Amino acid sequence: MIIGEHRPSKLVIDREAIRHNIREEVQRLPKDCELFMVVKANGYGHGAVQVAAAAKEAGAKGFCVAILDEALELRAAGFDEPILVLGVVEPEYAPLMAREKVSTTVAAEDWLAEADHYLKLSQPKEPLRVHLGLDTGMGRIGFQTPAALQHAVAFLAEHDTVFTFEGMFTHFSTADEASADYFHKQVERWDAFMAAVPDKPRYVHVTNSATSLWHADHNINIVRYGAAGYGLNPSGNTLKPPFELQPAMSLVSELAHCKQLAAGESVSYGATYTTTKAEWVGTVSLGYADGYERRLQGFHVLVDGQPCEIIGRICMDQFMIRLPHQYPRGTKVTLVGRNGGAEITLQEMAEYCGTINYEIACGFTARVPRRYTH
């Protein structure tokens, strides 16, 4: 996709905020527990390579991604730290992962059998590093019973020339909620899995951001640090983090046009907004093609520290706002972040759209350039 370098709309990413969020968490971890920064989905929209560099500076010892291509991007950028792919990769790419020293998630024994075939055909210099995913109640991927896990562990032991049994993990689905009932149910299932494997691999991990923030006693030797690393509260406003999370993302633009409309004039597609008196209306060069949700009609942006309502439907590339008075073209508009003592957060946008803060962050498309500070 073309990046919009020649318009004023941009995402501003504060690398020091990312470093702060990671340093604060690293200080809370046991000495034998490592932080792996989750940089999937282009670093939650912040830019994977830039985030990985800031995370490494702050003490991250490895990285987690969702798909193989995200791991290869980090390798191409020069990162030689451990990288774990959290999703299921097709077995035919097992030799590539082995060559690139990328660890992969395995969720079923038949995957191992297929990968074994491809690995023996290509004979990479190093074995494939494997983390066995365990489904304790997320219902997404992973082995479902201790017996199935034992079969997989036995398979790895019998094929130790092509596989390295590097890790086991699960994912808690309600660690960010006030009630811990389901969380404890998953813990019980996890304990049953662990009892089935007396000889543990190097990495055993259960903690994402939410688990580490609010259930730190369950940290083992990796924390998969995602949303909190970007300054996003995984629980929204339900739970308070044990330290201040600093948001790393701002979204800014400028007024591309300003005009006065008479009473009775309508704005944007469908004429869903009509002026009741003479109003100053500004146009901002950003739209839903940039990931600025169409659902945000009626929300607001900040101009000169003042909230200005989004009027009419958000277009693909532009939207309109009601201004208190005339402003010159080029006046700064803040869509996320601080402006004149006021602030708009991703959480506020998410609540307005009926979703979560990191869906909003991940939704900004590649057309919006990322600019990095600090």
Query: Is the Cα dihedral 225, 230, 231, 232 positive or negative?
Result: negative
Count of CB atoms situated within 10 Å of the CB of 240 = 12
Identify each DSSP E strand in the chain by its residue range.
10-14, 34-38, 62-65, 83-85, 103-106, 128-133, 163-169, 203-205, 222-225, 249-261, 266-267, 273-274, 279-284, 300-303, 306-311, 319-323, 332-339, 342-344, 370-373
140 is in an annotated binding site: yes
- From the list 197, 129, 215, 38, the residue with the least C-alpha distance to 206 is 215
User: Of how many residues is the chain composed?
Assistant: 374
Q: Token pair for residue 258?
A: 């300003």
Contact 195, 179 (CB under 8 A): no
Specify which residues 10 forms β-bridges with.
252
Q: Which of 10, 31, 40, 185 is catalytic?
A: 40
37 is in an annotated binding site: no
351: amino acid identity, one letter? E
The answer to whether 269 is a known catalytic residue is yes
Question: Within 13 Å, how many C-alpha atoms sit on residue 355's CB side?
Answer: 14
What is the Cα–Cα distance from 298 to 320, expressed in whole angstroms?
Answer: 10
Count of CB atoms situated within 10 Å of the CB of 155 = 17
- From the list 299, 313, 312, 303, the residue with the least C-alpha distance to 351 is 299
- Catalytic positions, please? 40, 269
Q: Residues annotated in the binding site for substrate, as ranges? A: 140, 316
